[in-house]
Structures are given as structure tokens and as C-alpha cells.
Amino acid sequence: MPKWEEYKAHARERGALALELFIVESTPSADGPPVPDVLPDHLAYQWDMEIAGNLAFAGPLSDLSGDLMEGTGMLVYRAESLDEARAMADGDPMHKTGARTYTLRRWLINEGSLSLSVGLSTKSVTLR
């Protein structure tokens, strides 16, 4: 199995995007304060992370059936290293207070597409 940096270099050599981001899966904890109590501070932290350019995407995940919202969320960070991404996750009030725990992984984006439409007169933005 190749090491991460070897795989990333190989992906670049073959012409893939090889954009490294960091995925945080954040799960409610049974031991911490209730998630709704920490939500305002969490959202303010995410706002600051987005303004700083460190938060690419964030939002809730469904359960495995796709029908229920069980409080698990996913965040996608832009960072220079796994350690920097870990510091960002540790700084989130959800994790600092123990309301949630998290797992952190590197994510290498190689393929895909993103469409953005900005309506000037309608002042609308559509992301697909």
C-alpha cells in the first residue's frame, strides 16, 4: 500500500487535480453538553473559519437509511497539514466542550465537477 505523499505525487503525475483537503466527521457525545446548547458558538466558529478561507464545506449527515437526522456532521477544511486541520477541529466549540467527538482524515480530490451560477439581477447563487 503506497504512503499518502507517494500516492498524491502519483496522482499529480497522471494529471489528476490532487487537491488535499481534510474531512472531519463530528458525532454527538453522550458525555458532553447537549449539542443545541453549543450550536450558536459552533456556528460562529464556522463563520470565522469560512471568512478566513479554512472552511470549504460543512453540514449535517443523515443516518445510514437516509431518512433521519441524528446529529452527525461533516466539515471539510483547507489546511497545510493534518496537524493544522486537527488544531482547527480541536478549536471548534462542539469538540472543545465535549458536545461532540470527531474523526479526521485527509481527502485527495482527483476528479469531479462543480458548477456555480451567479444571477446578477436576481442576486441568486446556485451551487451544483
Q: What residue ranges define each of the domains in the chain, with the CATH number in brackets?
A: 4-127 (3.30.70.1060)
pLDDT at 109: 96
25-43 pLDDT tens trace: 999 999 999 999 999 999 9
Residue 1 pLDDT grade (very low, low, confident, very high; cuts 50, 70, 90): confident
- Is pLDDT at 68 greater than 90 in this prediction? yes
Print the SS3 string covering 48-104: HHHHCCCEEEEEEEECCCCCCEEEEEEEEECCCCHHHHHHHHHHCHHHHCCCEEEEE
The average confidence (pLDDT) of the chain is 95
pLDDT at 71: 85
pTM: 0.89
- What is the chain's alpha carbon radius of gyration, rounded to the nearest angstrom? 17
Asked if residue 118 lies in contact with residue 125, where contact means CB atoms within 8 angstroms, the answer is: yes
Contacts 24+ apart (CB under 8 A), 59-65: 61/25
How far is Cα 119 from Cα 37, in angstroms, rounded to an integer? 37
Query: Which of these, 125, 90, 104, 116, lies nearest to 22 by C-alpha position?
Result: 104
96-112 pLDDT tens trace: 999 999 999 999 999 99
